[in-house]
Structure 1
Amino acid sequence: MADQRTLINPQKVKSRKGYHFVKRTMDIVLSSIGLICLSPLMAVIAYKIKKEDKGPVFYKQVRVGKNGHKFEMYKFRSMVTNADQLLDRLKDQNEVEGAMFKMKHDPRITKVGHYLREHSLDELPQLVNVLKGDMSLVGPRPPLPSEVARYTDYDKQRLYVMPGCTGLWQVTARNDVGFDEMVKLDLEYVQHANLGYDLWIIIKTIGIIIKPNSSY
């Protein structure tokens, strides 16, 4: 049966040229400032990760961005080094319905990783992705290719804009809702995105880093 939910006009999203120009300028400026100012904290995080199990500090994973563009997303490693290989054993314990995997007590997460995820610090290296132009500071969560393969036309509307380090889903419901609710929040952002909305989400994200919500 065809998906009867409302579809967004992609041309309307593309037509906001002034907003997209200012947003990209803001991304470059703020991500540059963030990388400089947060470099001491990032150095401490790198040391803690390396000290725990001698494994790689960073984790790279292929994600899907705007209009289906694939790119390597950077994160601080918060799981054991063979986490991807162990995923198949855990898929039947997925706690989120739909095209996404989330598990609150994921045994693959390291001790340092638990703290990083709780405060969303594992995502700081994504500032490099923002600087490169693969991501924005604010936007939908960047999905895996395997997730996108299961998307309906309705779900694919998340790809009309650049994915973000943070977004409406992250600062509101986060892991308290399922995949369909996440998509609904993302599309609400896609439809109504503006600079004021972006700044509000960034401010909320700073608050969540200090006082975590339901992230895991």
Structure 2
Amino acid sequence: MKKLGIIVIAIFIGLVSFKKIAQKGDPKKREEAKKEINAYMKANMLPVMLENRKEFDTKLSKKEKATLVSLRERLDALKGKKDSMKKDKSSGEPSEAQKSEMKAMKTEMRHIMTDAWVIVDNHESDLEAIKTANKANEEKWKTDMKAIFEKYKPENSEMGKKGKHGKKGHRFGQMDDKKPVMFVLMDPSKSVDQIASEMEQRQEQRGHRGGKGHHGNKR
């Protein structure tokens, strides 16, 4: 299936860890950048994204809708287990029981995604129609968000410069293969406020993980 472009990543751009800003910029500037990006998304991108997801819901059969409800419940259960494991995690190596549980969780996630991809593949034309109808929005969002990143990027940042293989180090809106399925799994019954709040929570989680990794490189 073709990638759906920025209309699909609108809901997930909040997962950006601001790693480039955080590594070389000061914490205050990073926080200002995060607030401005989140505010822009909430005011401009999320309402459109939610309407698109509601529109897509009208294309689904009752069986597909029921399947997605079940998959979301399973995802929530996995999140609960993951959060619980983080609280119980010690500084040492995980126990055999913990390793076994992590393996089972990865298997469950793979099964959830496999079932969701069936629905994605069944509605490729519907998803492409949503992308086509939002082409103008895509371009405006992309331009506006790039401007915000440029506004807050640290001085002498490598962001946007070409790397060893001629690829840019920072590519706004870069898609990966999971974005279409995550759009399908999105809950259209939630409000913009709920979705924005969840994205901010994920941002914080990613920020904490990134911070640990960054400090861990110090000697």
Pick the structure with more helix per residue.
2
TM-score by length of 1: 0.33
- Tell which has more relative contact order, 1 or 2 (C-alpha 8 A, sep 6+): 2
Rg larger in 1 or in 2? 2
